[in-house]
Structure 1
């Protein structure tokens, strides 16, 4: 409830998590972290085979099961309501319900507005905003049926960097933060925690490196993906009596334990 409340412990035994955008980068690290904390995890993304970027849902699911966890690789295009609904249904059929959502699927475009083609602008909105809307809408009834749970949307510190201009990526993530901050109020009575989580520094994922335009990041500004995983586990353990309606920075949240 308060952004200063200490988080609950990260024991997720018996919980089921759906992680969208989990084939690589932050999503893969979060999926593996949730599984290590005891959750059964649906590893959801479009990537069933290696493509332009490394990583597949099957490889992540295999790493989880090899480590003794439970995972289901499920194909999911977050821009398609039909695909999202099918992925959620497959998860419920396999694990019996859903307690946790991590909405991580995203595409990056950091060019200034005047250098942004319409198709790139629309893609950022379709994946980063509408995609979060679709997976969130689809899982809410399942969390409600379990008596509560946790919704987590992955955002970015770039939302606050207004002194550095505007781009489609930051704008789409700002809209997600507004959606989730309002949704926390809507779902408080259903015992569902709703929070946004962003890296404190820069996580050099495959997607970031492909979409960053060659930007150089000083070593001291680089954050390991495991920090996001640890923070996600803490937020995943919340309900409406704990941390909700906040935008959290990964390393700050971990330090507050």
Structure 2
């Protein structure tokens, strides 16, 4: 999808309106709906120019498209570019990053959010479901990180954030492909934080403190009823992502953060 098709005003040079992230460019993988869309909007509201990256160019079984998210950001006064991107495909990722750099001049912030959900018990998990979780939730994080990293180094620093889940810690509740893939992504980013400290790049993981009832959760959550007190609005994790996006290696780095702990609710 082109910029014109999304109804945007044009990407310009990545210099957004005033705000804590003014002048920054953010690449948000998995931004067509849910947590990714909320974070993309939050970053734009904070002044960043945002690449809205995901596979969803047209409406499908689960609602949400990159063009619709970019159009909402533009309508609210922000600056966004819809970028088709399959995080499990290296060529697609490289093309998405190249399109972002061409439009905005570089990248300062990565949000590695793209994910698929499978929470069935191991003994009834089809291999294709296990592999898909690994391909998207782990290899996808690796591929977008690998592609974006040279851009952050060229800018003299920046921030990389992988979106994970509190389920990583819930070993008393058994095992599933989703939690295992997210646990591996956390290990990847904790190690990267050490590797990249000398490049002035903050590397952190961020998860909701409670359940965010995204479109993906509604489609794949097995019809589970979630008590109201266990539900977190997506805007909460968006505020936490904005805070981490403003970091470099001199600030918060090498951590796994929970949204409502990082940004306490008033």
TM-score (ref. length: structure 2): 0.92
Instruction: Find the counterpart in structure 2 of residue 190 from structure 1.
Output: 199
Other structure's SS at 1:255 match = coil
1:174 aligns with 2:183: yes
Instruction: Find the counterpart in structure 1 of residue 61 from structure 2.
Output: 52
The Cα shift of 1:175 comes to: 0.1
2-structure distance, mates of 1:68, 1:209: 30
Instruction: Find the counterpart in structure 2 of residue 6 from structure 1.
Output: none
Residue of 87, 93, 99 corresponding to 2:96: 87
CA RMSD of aligned residues (A): 1.1
1:224 aligns with 2:229: no
Instruction: Find the counterpart in structure 2 of residue 3 from structure 1.
Output: none
Runs of 4+ in 1 over 3 A off after TM superposition: none
Instruction: Find the counterpart in structure 1 of residue 74 from structure 2.
Output: 65
The Cα shift of 1:255 comes to: 2.0
2-structure distance, mates of 1:91, 1:17: 9
Matched positions, count: 248
The Cα shift of 1:256 comes to: 9.3
2-structure distance, mates of 1:167, 1:192: 32
The Cα shift of 1:57 comes to: 0.2
The aligned runs of 1:91-102 (5 Å cut-off) are 91-102=100-111
The aligned runs of 1:17-166 (5 Å cut-off) are 17-166=26-175
2-structure distance, mates of 1:207, 1:255: 25
2-structure distance, mates of 1:207, 1:147: 36
The Cα shift of 1:211 comes to: 1.5
Which segments of 5 or more consecutive residues in structure 1 lack a partner in the other structure? Answer: 1-9
Instruction: Report Cα offsets for 1:140-183 as digits up to 9, x if no partner.
Output: 00000000000000000000000000000000000000000000
Q: Which has the higher contact order (CA 8 A, sep 6+)?
A: 1
1-structure distance, mates of 2:82, 2:101: 13
1-structure distance, mates of 2:88, 2:194: 25
Instruction: Report Cα offsets for 1:16-67 as digits up to 9, x if no partner.
Output: 0000000000000000000000000000000000000000000000001111
Other structure's SS at 1:60 match = helix
The Cα shift of 1:13 comes to: 0.1
Residue of 228, 236, 239 corresponding to 2:248: 239
Instruction: Find the counterpart in structure 2 of residue 254 from structure 1.
Output: 263
Instruction: Find the counterpart in structure 1 of residue 3 from structure 2.
Output: none
2-structure distance, mates of 1:39, 1:128: 25
TM-score (ref. length: structure 1): 0.95
The Cα shift of 1:221 comes to: 0.3
